[in-house]
Chains A and B, each alone.
Chain A
Amino acid sequence: MIWEAILLALREIRRNVLRSSLTILGIVIGVAAVITMVTLGKGATLQVTSDIAKLGSNMLQVRPGQGFRGPGGTRSTSPPLDPKDAEAIANEISGVVAVAPTASQNLQAIFGNENWSTTVTGTNNAYFQVRNWPLKAGRKFTDAELSAGASVCILGSTVCQELFGGQDPLGALIRLRKLSCKVIGVLESKGQSSFGMDQDDVVLVPLRTFQRRIAGCQDISAIFLSVKEGFSTEKVRLEIERLMRERRRIQPGSEDDFHVRDMQELVSTLTGTTRLLTALLAAVAAVSLLVGGVGIMNIMLVSATERTREIGIRLAIGAREREVLIQFLVEAVVLSLLGGLAGIAFGLGTAAFGSRLLHVPFVFDPAITLIAFLFSGAVGILFGFFPARRAASLNPIDALRHE
């Protein structure tokens, strides 16, 4: 019986190709738009989150100045950090695994005829652990090199590529300003950060080497550290803040002249931003769903005249109101289902294509798919059904005469 009704509905749909395809088009556009937008948005969020995870998610950074507040902040007036701060953090705070004090400067790296402007960073071996950054070739610094301030360096992959091309850089001597130092290792490539910076454009040297031979002072620009598994990043951060206030003799009540940056915080800020973007995209998509719905509505209402006459004929030859309505309902449901399925297929296809184009992962969201599907289905059914109900409640003779 229901199968019969579906067959009849399909026949009716085939018979009115133009009207049916316009209705379906509305549903397809609505569903496809929502699915595409939301899928791409979700993919972007995932992308950003995993990018940040690559930075090292349990990493904390201590820097002088007040961090993100205001343009430029008060960094210039804040005193720099001291290498002893790093030692203090390592010794006095529990839950800290590795502490890497760093100091950086931009300068030219020269090898033979090649030269390349890059960032030279002085640090220790803890840096590799904190940044979650293994070596591709060669070795780390030895303790002797670190304590003596030996002339050795480890290259980021961009620098390595720019200076050496395809050659083996290990054992070669490169010049950093007046310092000539031996390449002992090459870092794995980390790629761009979420902020678009090339993280591989770096040369690492022992901190002491940097202080003595490049900067000429003891100042360090940041302390990187990683929090032990199982310890709360937030708690460690608060302890470091307390320790640093003490060491920098900040009076109670006055503001910090340093900041501890938590990667977790960054993660939530950025995912919050992409979520907002996703929500915006979804809002745009919801508008197209609505536009699709209005399209369906128009087609249904415009065809009401013709359908009223059809209903009149059916009533006159002995159909009961209920039978006519069931038929129209089945027709609307079948139409909406067809449109919804086509919309899902089309939307997922577009999303798959778009995510390849934008280099974001493809994340299927069943909830949104279902919502979009149900919404346009409901619109299709509503506007297929209500004009039919009005027509079916007329006197058959009035329905027949309807112009």
Chain B
Amino acid sequence: MKTNRANPLRPLIEFKQVTRVYGSKQAAVWALAGIDLQIYRGDFVAIMGPSGSGKSTCMNILGCLDRPTTGSYLFHGLEVGALSRDQQALLRRHYLGFVFQGFNLLNRTSALENVELPLIYRRISAKERRRRSQWALELVGLRGWERHTPSELSGGQQQRVAIARAMVTNPLVLLADEPTGNLDTARSQQIMELLCTLNRERGLTIVMVTHEPDIAAYAQRIIRFRDGLIEADGH
């Protein structure tokens, strides 16, 4: 693997003419119609746009959960499309943290165990897993809720468990799809302030999808999608 960590001018994430097409020839849907994009370390990026504009597809490709149909995705100078499934999994394991739109927590599994999950695959001892997970839950203000299962938690609490799970591995990039989608204003503000703190103090790179302008306002940079293309990109 060839990486280029030393060069600060090199983007952490780079899309070159990325397309993603669903379906076959006649019924083809161009979710992404050729996108160029650079994201640098420490960026806090909000992606906006109407539904069906390609935001989530873009996030899935960013998170190595999906592959571009054509074009190239460089992560740290590394061609992601050329990686095997297992290599992509390792990339997700070590560098990426996810907050999904639907939380995607394991049912009947306590908050603590949900947060521990990524650490299991990092071969971290049970004791250390527990310590780190407790730290992450504290970070999102869920101390005392460790033993509760998702069905016993409110939507906002589930969202925060999902953030804790994404943060527990101390990733390079946090990818969040509508992290405040199900929350009231006060909770949304709390979460956004948390993300800002993480961005500011830990240099965490954040890419976040949202359709609320006041949430997007927390980011330093806003990218607007329309019909699978970038409509605007600015600060």
Contacts and interface: CB of A to CB of B under 8 A. Distances in A.
A396 B65 CA distance: 6
Interface string A370-395: 00000000000000000000000001
B60 A397 contact: yes
Nearest to A16: B108
Contact of B92 (A4, A312, A317): A317
A213 interface: no
B100 interface: yes
Interface of A: 4, 8, 11, 15-16, 306, 309-310, 312-323, 395-397, 400
Interface of B: 60, 63, 65-66, 85-86, 89-90, 92-94, 96, 98, 100, 104-109, 113, 117-118, 120-122, 126, 165, 169
Given A4-B126, A313-B104, A316-B92, 4 more contacts: A318-B169, A320-B85, A321-B89, A397-B65
A305 to B, nearest CB: 12
A315 B89 contact: yes
Nearest to B102: A400
Contact of A322 (B65, B86, B108, B126): B86
A211 to B, nearest CB: 88
A12 to B, nearest CB: 9
Contacts of B89: 315, 318-321
Given A15-B109, A316-B98, A316-B104, A321 B85 contact: yes
B121 A319 contact: yes
A316 B118 CA distance: 9
Given A309-B104, A395-B66, A320 B90 contact: yes
**Residue from the set A11, A313, A314, A323 with the largest chain B CB neighbour count within 10 Å:** A313
Nearest to A1: B123
A319 B93 CA distance: 7
Nearest to A7: B126
A396 B86 CA distance: 12
A364 to B, nearest CB: 40
Contacts of B165: 317
* Ranked 10 nearest A-B pairs via Cβ: A318-B93, A318-B92, A397-B65, A317-B118, A320-B89, A396-B65, A320-B86, A15-B108, A319-B121, A313-B104
